[in-house]
Amino acid sequence: MLIRHIARNAAMAQSMRARIQREGVTCQGHPLWSPKENSTLHSLYPSHRGNRIHLRRALPRRTYAAIKTRARIIGVAKKHPRWTSNEVRTLRALYTRARKSDVTASLPRRTWSQIKSKAGRLKLRRPQPLKILGRPALDAIRLRARSVGLTMFDLDCLARTGHYFRQNYSNDRDQTNGAILRAAKLLGGQIVVRWK
């Protein structure tokens, strides 16, 4: 980028800031925060942080999201530190396998709700308790996958069975022998027929 382009962009930004101050609204048409609104926010936010209705009544021109953002900007709300790469690595390693207490002990700067939120953004899932379906082949495969550390999502992906093992089928006609054979082979097992 040339220096003249940088200078032109800086001059445009300066004129835009001057126009915003002169007109009292942002480029999107939102009014600027007045000193009165800031003082109202200073006095109300710590005690009424979770009470959306009270805050919205006190600041009628503002949405709740705008109030939360402004509280963070002016230093009324607690700022949460950014996730470090070591914290993300720890979260990836422990979230799907360890107990809740172990995960929170490994990440002392984070609350459980922050940990769950970050895990959701990273598409990490904690394993749900397995439901025994009463179908021996399907139950055996699901238990074996859990014992080797695979979630049902992982099993479906590796065996290429769609959503088969993640869903809890209730009747025998939903049972697909091809999916059971692929999963058994993947987990190092085999299907044996016993004649009575």
pLDDT in tens, 135-177: 888 888 888 888 887 878 888 888 888 888 877 655 555 567 7
Contact 52, 71 (CB under 8 A): no
Q: Are residues 49 and 7 in the same domain?
A: yes
82/37 Cα distance (integer angstroms): 28
4/8 Cα distance (integer angstroms): 6
Task: Quickly tell me which residue has 């126009």 as its tokens.
Answer: 19
* pLDDT at res. 85: 93
Residue at 79 is within a domain? no
Task: Report residue 3's pLDDT band, with 50, 70 and 90 as the boundaries.
Answer: confident
123/75 Cα distance (integer angstroms): 31
Q: Are residues 10 and 59 in the same domain?
A: yes
Quote the pTM value.
Answer: 0.45
As given in the structure block, the two tokens for residue 157 are 């992906």
Q: Are residues 89 and 68 in the same domain?
A: no
Residue at 56 is within a domain? yes
Residue at 112 is within a domain? yes
Owning domain of residue 161: 136-186
How many structural domains is the chain composed of?
3
* pLDDT at res. 89: 94
Residue at 68 is within a domain? yes
Mean pLDDT of 10-22: 89
Q: In this model, does residue 99 exceed pLDDT 90?
A: no
Q: What angle do CA 55, 60, 62 make, to 5 degrees?
A: 80
Residue at 130 is within a domain? no
Contact 191, 179 (CB under 8 A): no
Residue at 193 is within a domain? no
Q: Are residues 112 and 140 in the same domain?
A: no
Nearest to 68 by CA among 49, 87, 96, 43: 49
Q: Are residues 69 and 92 in the same domain?
A: no
* The residue type at 180: I
62/27 Cα distance (integer angstroms): 16
Q: Are residues 57 and 15 in the same domain?
A: yes
As given in the structure block, the two tokens for residue 7 are 């200078």
Residue at 196 is within a domain? no
Q: Are residues 94 and 69 in the same domain?
A: no
Longest CA pairwise span in the chain (Å) = 91
Q: Are residues 114 and 141 in the same domain?
A: no
47/30 Cα distance (integer angstroms): 26
Residue at 192 is within a domain? no
Residues whose CB is less than 8 angstroms from the CB of residue 140 and which lie 6 or more positions away in sequence, other chains included: 189
Nearest to 70 by CA among 27, 91, 99, 39: 39
Q: Are residues 67 and 11 in the same domain?
A: yes
Task: Quickly tell me which residue has 């509280």 as its tokens.
Answer: 71
User: pLDDT for 106-130, tens place per residue?
Assistant: 999 899 999 999 999 998 888 777 7
Residues whose CB is less than 8 angstroms from the CB of residue 95 and which lie 6 or more positions away in sequence, other chains included: 103, 115, 119, 124, 126
Q: Are residues 168 and 114 in the same domain?
A: no
